[in-house]
């Protein structure tokens, strides 16, 4: 694998485009291969074993594209399968959880975490926060599965979103968290509505941004910059959903032109 090879990134579907978006902002001269497992999404309601099995296949596919590193954009995969992935492959693998925890200030103690059921039930964010902050950390966690559908319908900043936010998060709000971790690829689309709901004193932490910062740092510290890159992106999906074009614009903030469909079961 050479420095001019692309960076691989995978997600259960379209959500990882929020991570790709942040990577493109910080690393405009890198090339990327994006794989979205749209035929088997969602990962967030599946068991750890299934998520890990899918994640192995996703990484196998990316390695077949000769990527120089892998970014696990999916919070559900990062929280359930990252250690297995790191143990199996030699290529550098980045998940979203570690850099998110590293970004938390030592001064805070009341932290809300939202994500899919697979992410919240894995306890990964909770365990790593406790490791960093000790028992002074007070954690408020909530799976918000309807957010995924709302984001894909373009309704993340709407009165319907406000109602769903109230439904899931009123109890958390009553505990006055200082920080809220947006532990799902889709949740950065709710930044406006969540900030409105919790108020300006609550800081929202976006794992997509934190992992992009970590990859940026790693590339520069290790001299892995692509000297000939042009921000090329190759998109691969395991199915091309009917609404992929319109949905992806909201996540990536640009049009996706060429998509190649692959059979992920072959990997």
Distance CA 23, CA 2 (A): 19
Distance CA 37, CA 10 (A): 8
Closest to ligand DGL by CB, 181 or 224: 181
Among 31, 38, 52, 75, interactor with ligand DGL by CB under 6 A = 75
Closest residue by Cα to residue 23 from 228, 185, 153, 193: 185
Closest to ligand DGL by CB, 144 or 224: 144
* b/e burial code for range 150-180 (CB count within 10 A of at least 16 → b): bbbeebbbeeebeebbeeebeebbeeebbbb
Site string for ligand DGL, 6-25 (x = CB under 6 A): -----xxx-x----------
Among 7, 24, 62, 74, interactor with ligand DGL by CB under 6 A = 74
Closest residue by Cα to residue 23 from 210, 255, 148, 186: 210
Applying CB under 6 A, does 104 fall inside the site for ligand DGL? no
Applying CB under 6 A, does 41 fall inside the site for ligand DGL? yes
Among 101, 104, 144, 184, interactor with ligand DGL by CB under 6 A = 184
Number of neighbouring beta carbons within 10 Å of residue 201: 8
144 is catalytic: no
Applying CB under 6 A, does 42 fall inside the site for ligand DGL? yes
Distance CA 212, CA 210 (A): 5
The answer to whether 73 and 96 have CB atoms below 8 angstroms apart is: yes
Applying CB under 6 A, does 38 fall inside the site for ligand DGL? no
Closest to ligand DGL by CB, 51 or 224: 51
Sites of contact with ligand DGL (CB under 6 A): 11-13, 15, 41-44, 74-76, 116, 119, 148, 184-186
Catalytic residues: 74, 184
């Amino acid at each position: 694998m050479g420095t001019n090879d692309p960076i691989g990134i995978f997600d259960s579907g379209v959500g990882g485009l929020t991570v790709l978006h942040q990577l493109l902002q910080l690393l405009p001269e890198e090339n990327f291969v994006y794989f979205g497992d749209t035929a088997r999404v969602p990962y967030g309601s599946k068991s750890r074993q299934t998520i890990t099995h899918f994640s192995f296949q996703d990484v196998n596919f990316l390695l077949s594209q000769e990527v120089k590193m892998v970014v696990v954009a999916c919070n559900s995969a990062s929280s359930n399968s990252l250690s297995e992935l790191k143990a199996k492959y030699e290529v550098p693998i980045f998940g979203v959880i570690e850099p998110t925890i590293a970004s938390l200030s030592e001064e805070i103690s009341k932290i809300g975490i939202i994500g899919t059921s697979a992410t919240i039930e894995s306890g990964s964010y909770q365990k790593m926060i406790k490791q960093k902050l000790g028992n002074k950390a007070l954690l408020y966690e909530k799976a918000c599965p309807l957010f995924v559908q709302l984001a894909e319908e373009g309704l993340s900043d709407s009165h319907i979103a406000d109602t769903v936010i109230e439904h899931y998060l009123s109890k958390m709000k009553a505990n006055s968290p200082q920080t809220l971790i947006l532990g799902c690829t889709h949740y950065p689309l709710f930044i406006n509505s969540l900030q409105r709901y919790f108020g300006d004193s609550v800081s929202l932490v976006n794992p997509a941004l934190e992992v992009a910062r970590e990859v940026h740092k790693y590339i520069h510290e290790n001299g892995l910059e692509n000297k000939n890159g042009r921000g090329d992106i190759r998109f691969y999906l395991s199915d091309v959903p009917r609404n992929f074009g319109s949905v992806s614009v909201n996540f990536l903030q640009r049009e996706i032109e060429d998509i190649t469909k692959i059979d992920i079961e072959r990997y």
